[in-house]
């Protein structure tokens, strides 16, 4: 059974720091991996989708990498801003299995 | 495009009542799914569909029914609500083909069962 773990569970940093969020999964036989952002009381917003044949994807200040052999993905956030405060979720495809998320707070 | 829409946004039920959560998408996506989100549990897949007339169970299907009579709609039915079904419910859709592609989520329905 696929299990997805995200570390850390919560993170509080000052504005301007570069951040790394971690996602690990137990079964490397995945199709794709997707990172989402969820604001309090809101739905999920897709950030990046990495296909199984890719090793990374970039969008603006966000960069996500995928290492299937080690069962890991990282989300790198450059020059963090207070508007980045949210919960970040990773999910792996076969059936979409979610991690429990990293709750990020960026303070001015 | 409206994307994925869900109604209602909030609902309070009494134990034993039934109701249907509505989900619709206007992107002509083949794949649609329902998740529930509970504190400390993350999002868990309830049911999914890969096209009209085709549905299958996810991780936590008990107590829920679905049908997919059209590409656009994928309602979730609670036949006899229980307090354990208090949760936030999300519907999502995606293109299918070579696996499931990027999923788009609705805004959620917050359900409380008393």
User: For A46-71, how does the pLDDT look when each residue is reduced to its tens digit (9 = 90+)?
Assistant: 999 998 888 999 999 999 999 998 99
d(CA B58, CA A9): 25
Task: Please judge whether B103 and A96 are an interchain contact, meaning their C-beta atoms are less than 8 angstroms apart.
Answer: yes
| DSSP code, position A55 | S
Q: Is the peptide bond before B6 cis (omega within 30 degrees of 0)?
A: no
Instruction: Find the CB nearest A93 among B40, B44, B99.
Output: B99
If you average pLDDT over residues A6-32, what whole number do you get? 92
User: Which among A31, A46, A89 has CB closest to B100?
Assistant: A31
**E strands, B1-114, in order:** 4-7, 10-13, 19-25, 31-38, 42-51, 54-57, 64-66, 76-78, 87-94, 104-105, 109-113
Check A95 against B99: CB less than 8 A apart. no
Mean pLDDT for B4-12 is: 96
Chain A touched by B41 (CB under 8 Å): yes
Mutate to test the interface with A, among B3, B103, B107 (most CBs of A within 10 A): B103
Q: How far is B18 from chain A (nearest CA, A)?
A: 24
Tokens for B1? 């495009």
The pLDDT value recorded for residue B97 is: 67
> In the predicted model, what is the mean pLDDT of chain A?
92
Interface check B107 vs A, CB under 8 A: yes
Q: With beta carbons under 8 A apart, name residues in chain B contacting A36.
A: 105
Q: Are strands B76-78 and B19-25 parallel, antiparallel or unpaired?
A: antiparallel
B38: contact with A, CB 8 A cutoff: no
How many CB contacts within 8 angstroms connect chain A with chain B? 53
CA-based R_g, chain A, Å: 13
Q: In whole angstroms, what is the distance from residue A2 CA to residue B49 CA?
A: 20
Map tokens 């868990």 to a residue: B44
d(CA A52, CA A57): 11
Q: Please indicate whether, in this complex, the C-beta atoms of B105 and A91 are within 8 angstroms of each other.
A: no
Residue B22's CB: how many other CB atoms inside 10 A? 15
pLDDT in tens, B39-90: 877 899 999 998 999 999 998 999 999 999 999 999 999 999 999 999 999 9
pLDDT of B100 reads 63
């Amino acid at each position: 059974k696929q299990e997805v773990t995200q570390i850390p569970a919560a993170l509080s940093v000052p504005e301007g720091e570069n951040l790394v969020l971690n996602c690990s999964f137990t079964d490397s036989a995945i199709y794709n991996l997707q990172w989402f952002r969820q604001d309090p009381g809101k739905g999920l917003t897709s950030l990046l989708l990495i296909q199984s044949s890719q090793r990374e994807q970039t969008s603006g200040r966000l960069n996500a990498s995928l290492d299937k052999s080690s069962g890991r993905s990282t989300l790198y956030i450059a020059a963090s801003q207070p508007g980045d405060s949210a919960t970040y979720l990773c999910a792996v495809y076969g059936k979409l299995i979610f991690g429990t998320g990293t709750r990020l707070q960026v303070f001015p | 495009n409206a994307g994925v829409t869900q109604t209602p946004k909030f609902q309070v039920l009494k134990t034993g009542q039934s109701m249907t959560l509505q989900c619709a998408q206007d992107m002509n996506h083949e794949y649609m799914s329902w998740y529930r989100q509970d504190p400390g549990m993350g999002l868990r897949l309830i049911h999914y569909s890969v096209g009209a007339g085709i549905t299958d169970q996810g991780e936590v299907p008990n107590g829920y029914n679905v049908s997919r009579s059209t590409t656009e709609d994928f309602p979730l039915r609670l036949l006899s609500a229980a307090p354990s079904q208090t949760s936030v419910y999300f519907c999502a859709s995606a293109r299918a083909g070579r696996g499931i592609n990027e999923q788009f989520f609705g805004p959620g329905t917050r359900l409380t069962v008393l």
